[in-house]
Amino acid sequence: MRDLVIVGAGGFARETAAAVRAVNDARPTWRLRGFLDDDAALHGTTRAGLPILGGTDRLADLPDAAVVVCVGSPRDYRARRRIVRRLGLPEHRYATITHPSATVGAGSVLGPGTVLLAGVVLTADVTVGTHVAVMPQAVLTHDDRVHDHATIASGVRLGGGVELGLGAYVGAGALLREGVTVGAWSLVGMGAVVLRDVPPGEVWVGSPARRLRAADAPAEPGGAPTAAERAADAPAVPVRPGDAAVPDTPGPASSELAVPRTVGS
């Protein structure tokens, strides 16, 4: 068993803790040490029966612990990426958490730091990048591609061949027609029915979904991502066990090698 800490102490963090406990009930895998949160008022308290150990600076005292970053909301869905960038940890430090009731179909690939909660279904050949949050009962069908730091809320249904861009947020119960694309950092509102492509950086709502406004762009250390960065920051090329690591698709913001991903049976 390996030590695991969860960054964040809100609802998503507690849901992930419940998923980790379910994993351990099926097969002991993780020693869940507790939460890390930079809100000093929470330090020394407990959430979901686990201690809040301190801020993220405590990671220096836990060099062998795996980490999963569980923050973000529709009000600030860049938060997960912002924290991952600030932590600067290598990808091998990040855990991939899959609730035992989730289904990961053949040929599907999950990046480090990604969380699948209860009842999620990936049918076949679904590619999910790093630090993606997939909430309960979401269904991703054949050949979907979900880029890094995206969020898929509960009950979402993606038709085949859908692509969610870097950091995209899809609200609870939304339906996306096969083959559509949601651009980087766009938000699809809860219950929306998306029948055509959503450009980057927009909020779409309704049935059929239409543009409401430009998406908010909370300030980030070092500035918000540029257009070139958004285009380059796609999921790494999937590497299956036994394959050699290969470079990511070349781009101005990506020069690292791909790492092994969790692969469906």
Q: Which residues are annotated as a binding site for substrate?
A: 72
What's the CA gap between 159 and 142, in Å, rounded?
8
Q: What is the CA radius of gyration of the chain?
A: 18
What's the CA gap between 206 and 29, in Å, rounded?
42
Picking from 183, 96, 95, 187, the residue whose alpha carbon sits closest to that of residue 145 is 183
Q: Which of 131, 142, 147, 149 is catalytic?
A: 142
CA torsion sign for 118, 79, 77, 158 is negative
What's the CA gap between 208 and 202, in Å, rounded?
15
Q: How far is CA 156 from CA 87, 203, 218, in A?
A: 30, 16, 25
The tokens 């219950």 sit on which residue? Answer: 191
User: What residues are designated binding site?
Assistant: 72
Q: What is the DSSP letter of 253?
A: T
Pairing of strands 181-182, 202-205: unpaired
Q: How far is CA 11 from CA 71, 97, 168, 173, 258, in A?
A: 8, 16, 19, 18, 31
User: Does residue 142 carry a catalytic annotation?
Assistant: yes
- Residues tagged active-site: 142
